[in-house]
Amino acid sequence: MKEIRLIIASDSVGETAELVTKACISQFNLLNNVIDTIRLPYIETTENIDEVINLAKEQESIVVYTLVKPNIRKYMFEQLQVNNIKNVDIMGPLMSLLVETLNEHPLNEPGIVHKLDEDYFKKIEAIEFAVKYDDGRDVRGLSKADIILIGVSRTSKTPLSQYLAHKRYKVMNVPLVPEVDPPEQLFEIDPAKCIALKINPTKLNKIRVERLAQLGLKNDANYAKDDRIHEELAYFNTIVDRIGCQVIDVSNKAIEETANEIIKIISKNEQ
């Protein structure tokens, strides 16, 4: 039985090199061979490389490496050649080709791909949060949210929540209806993270009439009547005054415009 040893060396966690190595290994019938792999992460100094070289010589290992910083990669290459150690530089050749093609120097910062992954998962988490706490479904979201949107029906609370979630903000929205008291926790949270969405009654009437038409209902429903709309907006003002939060008029704004205004307010408050 032949034993093959591999050392995976990286200036980050080494996941990239290990995935490539495993993909290659999977293409071979290993019934009569044993492949032993060791991952050595955070190889950042020449001393670290010397340790890799000594281990590779001692175990007669193949070295698979991903090193971003040019001086460290160069030292690794030189030591591998001097000691006649079999090796594969996974990132080096492509990095050199990209430098030549793009005529641009790389950032040379280890671990960036994992930062990008972290950013992606943060966005997914924010989207899931917006869905879970849409329409004030669970008051526990109030303490966890980065942004809380309040407003009467048809003020774009849900689409705004989703748009802001794609910007990695955890957003909860709470509808304001005169017949239903908002959760008491709404008056206990930091008003700096609460944004009230104001709308012109004429504009709201038009939006609601269109919504009723989409649902196949007559436009004389109480939902779209002027008296009802003014009642809801008066209630909205009462709640806003009690919370003391900032108000944005969304009457003639696109979702993107309102979202950008919200982000500016939240960012300023955080500072």
Per-residue confidence of the chain (271 residues) as pLDDT tens digits?
Answer: 578 899 999 988 888 888 888 888 888 877 667 788 898 988 989 999 999 999 999 999 999 999 988 899 999 999 999 999 999 999 888 888 888 888 887 776 666 665 656 777 888 889 989 989 999 989 999 999 999 999 999 999 999 999 999 899 999 999 999 999 999 999 999 999 999 999 999 999 999 999 998 888 888 889 999 999 999 999 999 999 999 999 999 999 999 999 999 999 999 988 7
Give me the pLDDT at residue 231, please. 97
What does the pLDDT read at residue 155?
A: 97
Give the per-residue pLDDT at 120: 75
Same domain, 67 and 101: yes
Q: Write the burial class of residue 47 (CB in 10 Å: 0-12 exposed, 13-18 middle, 19+ buried).
A: exposed
- Domain-ending residue, one of 91, 110, 129: 110
CATH of the domain at 192: 3.40.50
235 and 196, same domain (yes or no):
yes
User: In this structure, are 260 and 137 located in the same domain?
Assistant: yes
The answer on whether 158 is annotated among ligand-binding residues is: yes
Q: Which of 159, 150, 149, 172 is nearest to 232 (CA)?
A: 150
User: CA quadruple 239, 241, 245, 251: dihedral positive or negative?
Assistant: positive
Q: Are residues 91 and 125 in the same domain?
A: no
Give me the domain span that covers residue 243.
116-270
Element (H, E) at 38: strand 33-40
Structurally, the chain folds into a number of domains equal to 2
The confidence score (pLDDT) of residue 16 equals 82
Q: What is the pLDDT of residue 117?
A: 63
pLDDT of residue 110: 67
- The count of C-alpha atoms lying within 13 angstroms of the C-alpha of 194, restricted to the half-sphere facing its C-beta, is 22
Specify which residues 147 forms β-bridges with.
Answer: 171
| 157 among annotated binding-site residues | yes
Residue 24 sits in the same domain as residue 45: yes
State whether 148 and 252 are in the same domain: yes
Tokens 């093959």 — which residue? Answer: 4
Of 110, 132, 156, the position where a domain reaches its end is 110
Q: Which residue has the tokens 């709640």?
A: 239
Q: Which amino acid is at 10?
A: S
| Domain stops at, among 70, 86, 110 | 110
Model pTM greater than 0.75? no
Strand pairing report for 87-89 and 147-151: unpaired
Residue type, 117: D
The answer to the question of whether 73 is labelled as a binding residue is no
Structure tokens at 196: 């009230």
Residue 22 assigned to a binding site: no
Distance of CA 41 to the CA centre of its chain: 25
Q: Is 151 annotated as a binding residue?
A: yes
Residue 251 and residue 141 share a domain: yes
